[in-house]
Chains A and B, each alone.
Chain A
């Protein structure tokens, strides 16, 4: 032990005495310094994320041989022979060397984390604690595995130059394979080699959240990998340095055994986590929009702490197809088991699980209407990639890949979560619109104290009758504050940018909803893994900033921005108006209509693509602002419609201040008259306008509406548009314009 301590102390002092060690400390602080400089120059706060540390980790890994190479190779030369004329045994020597270097490198880690903590704390407040909570263990793990690998390679290579060249090769291989600095590749894509936990996205509400088990497993796996390389280094040291020996074989076996245990534990945890969050395919025939739900009566018991739910429902469904089908396909989360299914007659129905759906035998194929009694229970299976996607309310065509999971509309995790109307936490036929029965009664029960429903709760029970709001039940985060007539519930660790912007949203909701003839949402809740704003009557749900993508309309609000507050307010009004409109617009009567002739299909969306991908995933079904189609094998064609965005934006313009209104109008007029692409892109981005306004068609729509409003008066026009949307629920802009022309007596043509 005394020898071990001496070697360790010697290595620390040698390391700290080297000038290059301190030069590298400064180098590792460069990313932090650049961030601060950019902050001062642009005025935009750095984003709240521990991912910033990834750059420092990658630099540290790249230069590691320069730091530790001399220490590893020095004993192998002439000097070593003199020093170790009475050689210590291999385990003591390598353990001492490793520990000395590990402790010696600590200043680099602590200095770096401290710098990032200060930056994040000044920029975002309390959430900066994540830098220590998660950043420190990750940094130490990365350093440990890097050091073990350097030890092993250093003993083989025997000189720093060769070690550094081989190291560069490994580093480049690793960087390319974990996605480099690509910010849009989630952690789970390459868990086995992601030694620096690249792209670990934390949730302000749940910390590691969905990635918890994966990150833990990865940590154990990395430790195991490091230990196994250390054991190999010991073996190599016996060969390359024959002066050394082992006191006993346990010295070799103990690290190898520990490595094996850690590797097995890590492997099991990662595999289990991947299975628990696997993305499962859909059946080949999902019977899309074949069934209409006439009646729903449902009771569900929820335990958010255990992540458990149990429900029973009576469902009356009608077949909209002229042809009968001997099976009924219902979408139900793969983590839930349909424990009972029977027909009205009492006949037990055969149930078969097929990916993200269940098949039931049709009790009476000849009848158009079926009445089903169903029971189910289990824990929700949410794919990791659920927060790695761009979803429905993206207001212009995007790439909707076939292995893209459905957006999270239900989550029960660590006592937090939500149950939204359009989630797969209860069985429902596949539809392209919202989950709305003609008559419905839904009862949700929970013992959780932090539960809040969009209707008043009594004794842990909430009851809805009639049309269901988009948000049903949420489990509240722990911090609250009041803005005007609303209370904002936010997680304690939420980024201050997100919280500031949530206040803007809340203030906008207080202004907008009375104009729309709706009650002001009194509860505004920030929740994890939601990409969009969700309006559910008294409840307004905003994303808490978890994950990579938000809807483009809301994106401005989840990252630091230099946008003026009045523009942000108009953007918030637009997003809220669109959210309201989505609830008002009836489902497309013919969502499977082919909107483009076959020869105009983008080949990337063609049959080859879904053949390559197995053709068994259903793209997200809810892009309401885009018309889309599936053929029986679900070839999807997207056509930009943008009408909801354009009308929502026009409503927001009317409520914005006069300067914003006039400036917006000037941009719209210029775009409608054929401005170049760069102007369109830039003006839309810089003024936080909906992306769909880059297209001249959407601009003309806004312009026509505004010209018409100019004739009848803007205030009256706003009132008339809102009333028409509320009372007559036009299907598209053409129908809206016809109705407005009729009501006002002033011609309005799209």
Chain B
């Protein structure tokens, strides 16, 4: 199963492994802190802020250094399909890691402020968003570093937006809607009980899907793909 999974990702396996390793370390850190009062908060920070970044960095370099790129270009299999498939593998791996966190958190009696599918949206929404931005960034000019930079920029902005939400919503009770909360892709770590939380998740999820969709469209430009595949580091 894993072999089939990995066969679809000829390059970037080490990167995917490193991203999973980072999350494994985070899992260990979380396990050490499950007895603390702030365990749920730690879990939210890991899921919402830490998990999406490394996987989105892998997405940024999805075509880079690909030795079969020329074959791909020559083959009847369209590049956008390869991009979609590989993105799904990388982001799917992130999703599996996220799911493992949720299962283990339940086993370790750490309870999140939301239930069921909503728990999945804590990390799925920023994961898709960052992945979409990274993919679009690297395909826009055919440069991997652009994708990495775009993902990191958005990630920093997400982290900073927590302060903005804190500032603008400080006078509004946590269970009442604060319109400023909509701007933050990291809303769960600031106002998990905000009535606008679900809307916030859906907005960012849809935006992420849009970016991913748009980047598959860009994948049709062969020149971009060749640039990425042949010289991932040059500009």
Query: Which A residues are within 8 Å of any B CB, using their own CB?
Result: 17-20, 23-24, 27, 59, 62-63, 65-66, 69-70, 73-74, 77, 79, 159-162, 164-166, 168-169, 172-173, 678, 682
Question: A18 to B19, alpha carbons, bound, how many Å?
Answer: 27
Interface centre among B65, B148, B235, by most chain A C-beta atoms within 10 angstroms, is: B148
- The answer to whether the Cβ of B81 comes within 8 Å of any Cβ in the partner chain is no
- Beyond A70-B234, A74-B234, whether A169 also contacts B25 by CB under 8 A is yes
B19 near A160: Cβ-Cβ < 8 Å:
no
Nearest to A79 among chain B residues (CB) is B231
B189 to chain A, nearest CB (A): 13
Question: A69 to B65, alpha carbons, bound, how many Å?
Answer: 15
User: From residue 19 to 34 of chain B, which have CB atoms closer than 8 A to chain A?
Assistant: 19, 21-22, 25
A169 near B149: Cβ-Cβ < 8 Å:
no
CB-CB < 8 A to B25: which residues of A?
A: 169, 173
B79 to chain A, nearest CB (A): 19
User: From residue 144 to 174 of chain B, which have CB atoms closer than 8 A to chain A?
Assistant: 144-146, 148-149, 152-153, 156, 171
A679 to chain B, nearest CB (A): 11
CB-CB < 8 A to B54: which residues of A?
A: 165, 168-169
A168 near B15: Cβ-Cβ < 8 Å:
no
CB-CB < 8 A to B14: which residues of A?
A: 162
- Beyond A20-B235, A166-B18, whether A161 also contacts B64 by CB under 8 A is yes
A62 near B235: Cβ-Cβ < 8 Å:
no
Residue A66 contacts which of B22, B65, B149 (CB distance < 8 angstroms)? B149
User: From residue 190 to 235 of chain B, which have CB atoms closer than 8 A to chain A?
Assistant: 231-235
Question: A74 to B25, alpha carbons, bound, how many Å?
Answer: 30
- The answer to whether the Cβ of B94 comes within 8 Å of any Cβ in the partner chain is no
- The answer to whether the Cβ of B61 comes within 8 Å of any Cβ in the partner chain is yes
Question: A378 to B14, alpha carbons, bound, how many Å?
Answer: 60
Write 16 A-B pairs (CB below 8 A) sorted by A numbering. Answer: A20-B145, A20-B149, A23-B149, A59-B156, A62-B156, A77-B233, A159-B233, A160-B144, A160-B145, A161-B15, A161-B64, A162-B18, A164-B148, A168-B53, A172-B22, A173-B25
- Beyond A63-B149, A161-B57, whether A74 also contacts B233 by CB under 8 A is yes
A675 to chain B, nearest CB (A): 15
B130 to chain A, nearest CB (A): 12
B171 to chain A, nearest CB (A): 8
A32 to chain B, nearest CB (A): 13
CB-CB < 8 A to B64: which residues of A?
A: 159, 161
A658 to chain B, nearest CB (A): 30
A168 near B22: Cβ-Cβ < 8 Å:
yes
- The answer to whether the Cβ of B12 comes within 8 Å of any Cβ in the partner chain is yes
A26 to chain B, nearest CB (A): 10
By Cβ-Cβ distance, the 10 closest A-B pairs, closest first, are A161-B61, A70-B233, A169-B22, A165-B18, A18-B235, A165-B54, A162-B15, A161-B15, A66-B145, A165-B57
B148 near A160: Cβ-Cβ < 8 Å:
yes
CB-CB < 8 A to B145: which residues of A?
A: 20, 66, 69-70, 160
Residue A63 contacts which of B57, B152, B171 (CB distance < 8 angstroms)? B152
Question: A628 to B21, alpha carbons, bound, how many Å?
Answer: 50
Nearest to B25 among chain A residues (CB) is A169
Query: Which B residues are within 8 Å of any A CB, using their own CB?
Result: 12, 14-15, 18-19, 21-22, 25, 50, 53-54, 57-58, 60-61, 64-65, 143-146, 148-149, 152-153, 156, 171, 231-235
CB-CB < 8 A to B146: which residues of A?
A: 20
CB-CB < 8 A to B15: which residues of A?
A: 159, 161-162, 165
Question: A391 to B124, alpha carbons, bound, how many Å?
Answer: 46
A70 near B235: Cβ-Cβ < 8 Å:
yes
A161 near B153: Cβ-Cβ < 8 Å:
no
Decide if the interface of chain A is mainly helix, strand, loop or mixed: helix
CB-CB < 8 A to B149: which residues of A?
A: 20, 23-24, 63, 66
B93 to chain A, nearest CB (A): 13
CB-CB < 8 A to B171: which residues of A?
A: 678, 682
Question: A74 to B65, alpha carbons, bound, how many Å?
Answer: 12
Nearest to B29 among chain A residues (CB) is A176
A161 near B148: Cβ-Cβ < 8 Å:
yes
Interface centre among A66, A164, A172, A682, by most chain B C-beta atoms within 10 angstroms, is: A164
Report the tally of A-B residue pairs with Cβ distances under 8 A: 83
Nearest to B61 among chain A residues (CB) is A161
- Beyond A70-B145, A172-B50, whether A165 also contacts B233 by CB under 8 A is no
A66 near B153: Cβ-Cβ < 8 Å:
no
CB-CB < 8 A to A70: which residues of B?
A: 145, 233-235
- Beyond A74-B234, A168-B53, whether A161 also contacts B152 by CB under 8 A is no
Question: A169 to B27, alpha carbons, bound, how many Å?
Answer: 13
Given contacts A20-B149, A164-B152, A169-B54, 10 further A-B contacts (CB under 8 A): A20-B143, A24-B149, A62-B152, A69-B145, A70-B234, A159-B232, A160-B145, A165-B57, A169-B18, A682-B171
A344 to chain B, nearest CB (A): 57
A161 near B58: Cβ-Cβ < 8 Å:
yes
B233 near A69: Cβ-Cβ < 8 Å:
yes
B200 to chain A, nearest CB (A): 22
Nearest to A21 among chain B residues (CB) is B235
Question: A440 to B66, alpha carbons, bound, how many Å?
Answer: 86
Residue A161 contacts which of B144, B234, B235 (CB distance < 8 angstroms)? B144
Residue A165 contacts which of B22, B143, B232 (CB distance < 8 angstroms)? B22
CB-CB < 8 A to A162: which residues of B?
A: 14-15, 18
CB-CB < 8 A to A17: which residues of B?
A: 235
Nearest to A173 among chain B residues (CB) is B25
B95 to chain A, nearest CB (A): 18
Nearest to A74 among chain B residues (CB) is B233
A63 to chain B, nearest CB (A): 6
CB-CB < 8 A to A172: which residues of B?
A: 22, 50
Question: A392 to B143, alpha carbons, bound, how many Å?
Answer: 58
B232 near A160: Cβ-Cβ < 8 Å:
yes
- Beyond A20-B235, A66-B148, A74-B234, whether A161 also contacts B156 by CB under 8 A is no
Question: A165 to B19, alpha carbons, bound, how many Å?
Answer: 6
A19 to chain B, nearest CB (A): 6
Question: A70 to B234, alpha carbons, bound, how many Å?
Answer: 7
Question: A23 to B150, alpha carbons, bound, how many Å?
Answer: 10
Nearest to A59 among chain B residues (CB) is B156
CB-CB < 8 A to B58: which residues of A?
A: 161, 165
CB-CB < 8 A to A63: which residues of B?
A: 149, 152
CB-CB < 8 A to B65: which residues of A?
A: 159
A318 to chain B, nearest CB (A): 48
- Beyond A20-B145, A59-B156, whether A164 also contacts B233 by CB under 8 A is no
Nearest to A170 among chain B residues (CB) is B22
A727 to chain B, nearest CB (A): 47
Question: A390 to B73, alpha carbons, bound, how many Å?
Answer: 66
CB-CB < 8 A to A73: which residues of B?
A: 233
Nearest to B173 among chain A residues (CB) is A678
Question: A168 to B233, alpha carbons, bound, how many Å?
Answer: 18
CB-CB < 8 A to B19: which residues of A?
A: 165
CB-CB < 8 A to A164: which residues of B?
A: 57, 148, 152
CB-CB < 8 A to B12: which residues of A?
A: 161
A145 to chain B, nearest CB (A): 20
B44 to chain A, nearest CB (A): 15
- Beyond A159-B64, A165-B54, whether A19 also contacts B152 by CB under 8 A is no
CB-CB < 8 A to A74: which residues of B?
A: 233-234
CB-CB < 8 A to A678: which residues of B?
A: 171
A490 to chain B, nearest CB (A): 32
CB-CB < 8 A to B61: which residues of A?
A: 159-161
A245 to chain B, nearest CB (A): 25
CB-CB < 8 A to B152: which residues of A?
A: 62-63, 66, 164
Question: A63 to B60, alpha carbons, bound, how many Å?
Answer: 15
CB-CB < 8 A to B53: which residues of A?
A: 168
Question: A59 to B153, alpha carbons, bound, how many Å?
Answer: 10
CB-CB < 8 A to A19: which residues of B?
A: 235
B156 near A160: Cβ-Cβ < 8 Å:
no
Question: A165 to B24, alpha carbons, bound, how many Å?
Answer: 14
Question: A27 to B154, alpha carbons, bound, how many Å?
Answer: 11
Nearest to A42 among chain B residues (CB) is B167
CB-CB < 8 A to A27: which residues of B?
A: 153, 156
B5 to chain A, nearest CB (A): 19
